[in-house]
Amino acid sequence: MNNIPNWSKNTDTYIWVFNVGRGLSVFVRTPNNHGMLYDLGASDEFSPIDFVEEHILPHLTKYEAGNAKQQLAQVVISHPHADHISEVEKLEKLSMGLLTCPHDKNEDEGFDFDAIDDHANLKKYRALFEKRTLPLQTIQYKSKYTTVIQAEYGIYYIRPPEVREIHSDSDHKYGNGCSILFYYKYGPNSLLIPGDMTPECFAHLLEEENGSEKRYSIFSYSSKFTNWHSETTNQPSLKDQLAEYGLTILLAPHHGLESCYSEELYEAIIGGKPRLVVISEKRHLGENDGTVDGRYQSEEGAEGMNVTIEGEAEKNRYSVTTRNGHHFLIKFGSDKTVTVFGESDPLNLLDK
């Protein structure tokens, strides 16, 4: 791509949800033209990191971290199950300001790697944070002169030792429950990516019970927020944000599987549901792979939104899914609109 794309020249938010088969990968371009990557899923047919490196990174504003300018402002890895870190080796060739992921660098937040199957990428994942320093953070917004009105985001998680108390009898649920949640709001529109968070942990986190952590950044300068990015203090709780502003887009937890549908999450959202559910859906290869919860695909799970799939307008969709081969672009406009596009060829999403 030699031409400068329209998305790099405006103050809209662009969110790409990539079709990666049995994994998850989401890229967020902020109104100040920084990039944030959530999870490292990939398929045999498609590499999000290769796509981002070729078509998006060249047009981003580099993020200043210390004395260096980084290609990505932040990478968030929800948890180290294999389908969420399949491109971890490719990540090593990119520079990033912040790497945010479950780790074992201290006792308070120590992740139990013995609970995770020793898959091929686990050692590479652990090497990513060997030279990183704590604490886990969101972007520290320092500029007194540049403001992106109404742009803000946070990460929410439960310390892994507390998750072990919640899921003492299941290593798999423990790994899922350690997921780092990503919440993003621009004007009236918002996005929640919960990774593979379990219903039990959702309930715990929403009530900010013991071991709950939050970091938050608002892209307008104020001394009031100086430590929100680095430690749990008086940042907005996830429950309060959902109750006050509702939720535009929910990326269904754990690929939409019925085992991780959270009634507590839905009860927290003003109006009782998001406008649209996006499902990064596993391709079901065996009878024990589980099925998508039907509530996501009905008026019980979403208010409904108009979307555009392969250039065709579809009215009042409750959910969209990557299972049918589509990649998705969600655009939060500076004019407070929200639009959703689905394309089998992700290149077609670059000029929306």
Q: What is the largest CA-CA distance in the chain?
A: 56
Per-residue pLDDT, 164: 98
Mean pLDDT score of the chain: 92
- Asked if residue 328 is part of any domain, the answer here is yes
Per-residue pLDDT, 287: 52
Band of the pLDDT at 324, cuts 50, 70, 90? Answer: confident
Judged against a pLDDT cut of 60, whether residue 82 lies above it is answered with yes
Per-residue pLDDT, 148: 60
Q: Nearest-CA neighbor of 199 among 181, 180, 173, 175?
A: 173
Amino acid at 136: L
Residues in the chain: 352
**What's the CA dihedral at 298, 300, 302, 303 to 10 degrees?**
100
Q: Nearest-CA neighbor of 125 among 181, 84, 159, 94?
A: 84
Judged against a pLDDT cut of 90, whether residue 225 lies above it is answered with no
How many CB atoms sit inside 10 A of residue 41's CB? 25
Per-residue pLDDT, 68: 84
Question: Which range marks the domain in which residue 56 is found?
Answer: 6-349
- Asked if residue 175 is part of any domain, the answer here is yes
pLDDT 10s digits, 229-273: 999 999 999 999 999 999 999 999 999 999 999 999 999 999 999
- Asked if residue 129 is part of any domain, the answer here is yes
| Long-range contacts of the stretch 266-271 (C-beta < 8 A, 24+) | 266/301, 268/206, 268/238, 268/239, 268/242, 268/243, 269/242, 269/243, 270/242, 270/243, 270/244, 270/245, 270/246, 271/246, 271/303
- Asked if residue 293 is part of any domain, the answer here is yes
CA 25, distance to chain mean position in Å, is 8
Per-residue pLDDT, 140: 79
The pTM of this model reads 0.95
- Asked if residue 22 is part of any domain, the answer here is yes
In whole angstroms, give the CA distance from residue 79 to residue 210: 20
CATH number at residue 50: 3.60.15.10
Average pLDDT over residues 187-203: 97
**Are the C-beta atoms of residues 321 and 6 closer than 8 Å to each other?**
no
Average pLDDT over residues 14-28: 95
Judged against a pLDDT cut of 90, whether residue 122 lies above it is answered with yes
Per-residue pLDDT, 143: 54
Band of the pLDDT at 1, cuts 50, 70, 90? Answer: very low
Sheet architecture: strand order including 181-186: 212-218, 151-158, 181-186, 189-193, 249-251, 276-279, 319-321
- Asked if residue 112 is part of any domain, the answer here is yes
Number of domains in the chain: 1
Angle at 226 between CA 251 and CA 159, to 5 degrees: 50
pLDDT 10s digits, 267-302: 999 999 999 999 998 755 555 566 889 999 999 999
- Asked if residue 168 is part of any domain, the answer here is yes
- Asked if residue 1 is part of any domain, the answer here is no
Ranges of beta strands (E only) in 280-332 are 305-309, 312-317, 319-321, 327-332
Band of the pLDDT at 79, cuts 50, 70, 90? Answer: very high
Per-residue pLDDT, 9: 87
Omega within 30 of 0 (cis) for the link into 135? yes
Contacts of 253 (CB under 8 A, 6+ apart): 179, 194, 195, 196, 197, 198, 202, 260, 261, 262, 265
> What percent of the chain has pLDDT above 70?
93
pLDDT 10s digits, 127-184: 999 999 999 999 976 655 455 668 999 999 999 999 999 999 999 999 999 999 999 9
Judged against a pLDDT cut of 90, whether residue 95 lies above it is answered with yes
